[in-house]
Amino acid sequence: MDRPISVLLLDDEADKMIDFIQEAKSERVLIKEKLTNAQEGIQEIRDNYDKYDAVILDALFFEKPDSAKLRDAGALADTLAEISRLVHVEEKYLPHCIYTGHFDKVNSDTVTRNKEVFVKGRDQKKMFDYLKEEVSKSDDYAIKNKYNDVFEVFDRSFMPMDKMPDLIEILAQLESDAKYNRDGAFTPLRKMYEAFVKSFYDEAYANDQDQDLVPLDLFYGDNDERVNIKGSWFYFSGMEIRDRNGRTIVSQRSEPVFPEHIKNLTSGFVDLVQTESHDYPEPVTKYAYRSAVNTLLELLLWYKNFCIENFK
d(CA 133, CA 79): 22
Structural domains of the chain sorted by starting position, each given as residue range(s) with its CATH number in brackets: 5-138 (3.40.50.2300), 147-310 (no CATH)
d(CA 196, CA 199): 5
**Model confidence over 151-167: pLDDT tens digits?**
999 999 999 999 999 99
pLDDT of residue 110 exceeding 70: no
d(CA 9, CA 71): 16
Q: Which residues pair with 61 in a beta bridge?
A: 72
Q: Which residues pair with 119 in a beta bridge?
A: 100
Q: What is the pLDDT of residue 280?
A: 61
Mean pLDDT, range 138-142, rounded to an integer: 93
Q: What is the pLDDT of residue 94?
A: 94
pLDDT of residue 303 exceeding 60: yes
pLDDT of residue 266 exceeding 90: yes
Q: What is the percentage of the chain residues whose pLDDT exceeds 70?
A: 88
**Model confidence over 194-209: pLDDT tens digits?**
999 999 999 999 999 9
Q: What is the pLDDT of residue 130?
A: 97
CB 208 within 8 A of CB 202: no
Query: Across the chain, what does the average pLDDT equal?
Result: 89
Q: What is the pLDDT of residue 245?
A: 84
Q: What is the pLDDT of residue 103?
A: 63
